[in-house]
């Protein structure tokens, strides 16, 4: 005979599936909740396993590119509606979410980091070529090379 779970039991399973991780305290709290509802450990384990299996099955059917497209379309609509209604706060929030979805912030950071690294390398090459008479020039840091160069420039200007 199949027993239909009560709303409280279903809520407990949902909570367990959503929060159960390597946190022993959370697992203990969930186990207590199941015990309060009169579930055996075996029943609770089966319920959570079944729920997780269904979630994995549903997740495997998600087509990421399509979902991103749907999300972008929704955000664009929200942005257009907010802009038309002159609701700048909502329009800005939609635009921020759009940028996060497209990972634009990450791309900007990567580009900035690459630019800074390239500029540092160019500065290092230029300073090393200008300070060829300095012993161990290749082992010095960029800051040290810059100090030596400034010292020489300032020293020449004051002499």
Lookup: tokens for 81: 């509606």
pLDDT > 60? residue 20: no
The reply to whether 108 and 140 lie within a common domain is yes
Range of the domain at 137: 104-158
Residue 132 lies in a domain: yes
Residue 1 lies in a domain: no
Residue 2 lies in a domain: no
Domain count, the chain: 3
Q: How confident is the model at residue 158 (pLDDT cuts 50, 70, 90)?
A: very low
| pLDDT score recorded for residue 99 | 85
Q: How confident is the model at residue 152 (pLDDT cuts 50, 70, 90)?
A: confident
Q: pLDDT tens digits for 30-74?
A: 777 778 888 887 777 787 778 778 777 877 777 778 888 888 888
pLDDT > 80? residue 109: no
């Amino acid at each position: 005979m199949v027993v239909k779970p009560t709303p409280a039991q279903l809520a407990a399973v949902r909570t367990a599936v959503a929060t159960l991780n390597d946190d022993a305290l959370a697992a203990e709290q969930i186990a207590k909740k199941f015990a309060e509802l009169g579930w055996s450990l075996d029943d609770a384990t089966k319920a959570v396993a079944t729920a997780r299996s269904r979630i994995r099955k549903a997740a495997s059917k998600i087509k990421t590119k399509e979902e991103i497209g749907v999300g972008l379309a929704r955000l664009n609509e929200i942005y257009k509606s907010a802009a038309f209604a002159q609701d700048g706060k909502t329009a800005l929030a939609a635009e921020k979410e759009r940028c996060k979805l497209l990972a634009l912030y990450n791309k900007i950071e990567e580009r900035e980091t690459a630019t800074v690294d390239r500029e540092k390398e160019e500065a290092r090459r230029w300073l090393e070529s200008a300070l060829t008479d300095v012993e161990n020039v290749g082992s010095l840091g960029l800051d040290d090379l810059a100090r030596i160069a400034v010292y020489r420039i300032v020293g020449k200007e004051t002499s």
